[in-house]
Structure 1
């Protein structure tokens, strides 16, 4: 099992590099003039697929965590202890430095905007429920809100109905989403809006990861494949509707890449190279801080750097600095906060890891 986990670390590294490439070279042409040169390069324009890779990895490791958890509550506690410390540190960091980047409105620090990240709840849902306008401290937090709801659902199903109902249960919210346009016409727009904000459309990716894990452990059944195929069709149709039929190619590629990595020794070796696993080690903290700090810094630099060639190289420099910050968070700050939350003053006793 160990080699497989090493290659998943490398895959996390690859996923975050894809997302960073997308944000640095494709996402913000209106803020960064040099992006006009790079935004149509497929490697960058489809870099957002790195998030779907993260979702597949999450799906894969979730059964491992569930199998090691005694109860629903202990499972949620493990997940919370895994996700909250870095989220808290990243939120505080973004909040603290926000004032230094007035050039970009997404960096304006308001205390209330700390809330969505710290309770892993979509700001739009909070806005709809409270009437107070919330925003995330960073745009990239959105995928954590999707993960959090996924954990709540899959944990509840696993501990009440059992693991064989986990995949079918994940299809239900996707079908709900497909039916939501019909429901909307029947006049329940607010409910539908809230449903659509949960990110159920991405559950097909978690399901692919779950299915690969079950296959590795000889628990896959034919109906599992049928369920995942339906989920992928729903997901692909959503992307085709929003981004055109061409999107199917990179979507399929990223899915096949994930699956193939478990069957190809060559891919496993390649994904286990030191560079990728080192980036993967800090990938969560890196993911949380990279977009806002990188884009805000690049906007600032763009005022002083007149050469487009130099600007094209700057994201690499900025991302490298941010990686080291993320590394320090992951290696030192995060474990310290986690031990504090566990109420541990002494060195942690050996226990099974908290999953992903």
Structure 2
């Protein structure tokens, strides 16, 4: 399988993680009543757009997962995904469950049955609640991995442009007339973002055909349309906010266009490596655990800003521990078990 590291992707992954943290700690946690206060008004007015970091993650996945699938057998691909996803995920479920139940915020607690189903990463298939709502995006990613595995299994990767065209047509139909089964099974809502990443990878790899450009711009347009539609129907956004959402949504394909043209190149370093490496465990650990600790620290009389800074530091430290002591060793075991040998 391809293993080249793209430092610009590391930077975007780190940026997406920071956006999501800002959204949860400076906006959503307070709005939903899970934290006593958000950040300063100015920061909160900016942080409310941080949810778009998840959309950036999806575009990154399109690029990176398609890269990792190059030359891979279906079994090797499954082994690499299982080894990458499950160790930190399992650890995060345990830690989040313990902290949330200790923190005594009833609205964040899920039944033990749902906790157990979360270990599959497909709890939503059984109608179970996520242990941490941030896990919803992992469910989307999981469906995407299944689709890539099917392409490998039935030798359809060589027809990827035809597959993407069909996926985007389904997504367009869903945009015009939303259909929950299509959104659930085929992730039609998020297909354009994955296709932005895949198309960018293909263009960067040398495909300069009219068809790949048409796919890229179709995916980009549709991704912005979905972002606009969601923002325009949100009671939390004024008209000026919707314009900001559109601008940020346009920035995602624009960045991948630059990557595809070799016009966004950066050098790597240890700080960037670790920031990108820890984004996954940080994403898994930050939301509900963060709400609990910010609330408890605020009750002790600390200033809200200091509470948030302390919790961010704790989450990154916990993510480092999960990565080094659980993710690394367990991923090797899982890879061998799934790959065989």
Q: Indicate whether 1:48 and 2:51 are aligned.
A: yes
Structure 1 62/182 Cα, relative in aligned 2: closer, same or farther at 3 Å? closer
Residue of structure 1 in register with 2:37 after alignment: 34
Deviations 1:179-213 (A, max 9, x none): 358877xxxxxxx4333235431122221221221
Structure 1 3/146 Cα, relative in aligned 2: closer, same or farther at 3 Å? closer
Deviations 1:59-97 (A, max 9, x none): 11223321241x223312221121111111111221232
Could you tell me whether the CA contact under 8 Å between 2:83 and 2:331 is conserved in 1? yes
1:322 to 311, 315, 327: 315
Q: Distance in 2 between matches of 1:342 and 1:257?
A: 33
Q: Distance in 2 between matches of 1:167 and 1:41?
A: 41
Structure 2 unaligned regions, length at least 5: 233-241
TM-score normalised to the size of structure 2? 0.83
Residue of structure 1 in register with 2:24 after alignment: 23
Residue of structure 1 in register with 2:86 after alignment: 84
Structure 1 141/68 Cα, relative in aligned 2: closer, same or farther at 3 Å? same
Structure 1 unaligned regions, length at least 5: 128-133, 185-191, 345-350, 352-356
Deviations 1:106-145 (A, max 9, x none): 1x1532223453222252x422xxxxxx100111111111
1:249 to 247, 250, 267: 247
Q: Distance in 2 between matches of 1:34 and 1:120?
A: 31
Residue of structure 1 in register with 2:327 after alignment: 334
What RMSD over aligned residues (CA atoms) do the two structures have, in Å? 2.9
Structure 1 142/102 Cα, relative in aligned 2: closer, same or farther at 3 Å? same
Could you tell me whether the CA contact under 8 Å between 1:63 and 1:210 is conserved in 2? yes
Q: Distance in 2 between matches of 1:289 and 1:327?
A: 11
Could you tell me whether the CA contact under 8 Å between 1:49 and 1:254 is conserved in 2? no
Deviations 1:266-295 (A, max 9, x none): x624xx454443221111111111111111
Could you tell me whether the CA contact under 8 Å between 1:113 and 1:137 is conserved in 2? yes
User: Once the 2 structures are TM-superposed, how far is the Cα of residue 222 of structure 1 from its aligned partner?
Assistant: 1.5
